[in-house]
């Protein structure tokens, strides 16, 4: 097993949620870090841990981002980070399924991420890199994010189910 550090310059942590019933709003987190302990050749993970700065949420709309940062949603003053810690994983054919704890808004819930290991390569600077993609879903209300408004048509401004997608590139830590 070797330590691999998440490379935020070549990774994406994003989410999508229903907006006004008729579309989806997408957003990303711009500031995060993480560590993966794995045997890349055998595609075996021992540890996956990540910390995300909730104040770094970016939906490309300043007013909405400010609302997401306030107490109605992420409440970044009180909960400046969210964390994920993998508890177990299993191979599923060509992919894997990781079970872990997501702590968000002061609440910890178990979530499942389903993904694929995208391989390993050397970059031109001598670093070994590995990539993987994962997706999962959470219900924002499970984490105490209950703000909403009812539409005249009977739907809601914001959906409850949030789709998560991770495109992660890690750099193998050099031995001291």
pTM over 0.95: no
Query: Tell me: the pLDDT tens digits for 68-117?
Result: 999 999 999 999 999 999 999 999 988 999 999 999 999 999 999 999 99
- CATH class of the structural domain 2-172: mainly beta
- The residue with greater pLDDT, 20 or 168, is 168
Query: Residues 69, 55: contact at Cβ < 8 Å?
Result: yes
Task: Spell out the domain ranges in the chain.
Answer: 2-172
């Amino acid at each position: 097993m070797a330590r691999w550090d998440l490379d935020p310059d070549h990774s994406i942590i994003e989410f999508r949620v229903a907006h006004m019933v008729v579309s989806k709003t997408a957003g990303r987190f711009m500031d995060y870090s993480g560590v993966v302990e794995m045997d890349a050749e055998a595609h075996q993970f021992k540890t996956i841990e990540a910390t995300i700065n909730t104040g770094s949420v970016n939906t490309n709309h300043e007013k909405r981002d400010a609302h997401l940062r306030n107490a109605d949603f992420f409440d970044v003053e009180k909960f400046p980070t969210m964390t994920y810690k993998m508890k177990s994983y299993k191979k599923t054919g060509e992919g894997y399924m990781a079970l872990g704890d997501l702590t968000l808004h002061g609440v910890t819930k178990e979530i499942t991420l389903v993904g694929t290991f995208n391989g390993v390569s050397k970059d031109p600077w001598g670093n070994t890199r590995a990539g993987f993609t994962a997706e999962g879903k959470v219900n924002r209300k499970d984490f105490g994010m209950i703000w909403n408004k009812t539409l005249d048509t009977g739907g809601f401004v914001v959906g409850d189910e949030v789709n998560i997608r991770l495109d992660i590139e890690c750099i193998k830590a050099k031995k001291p």
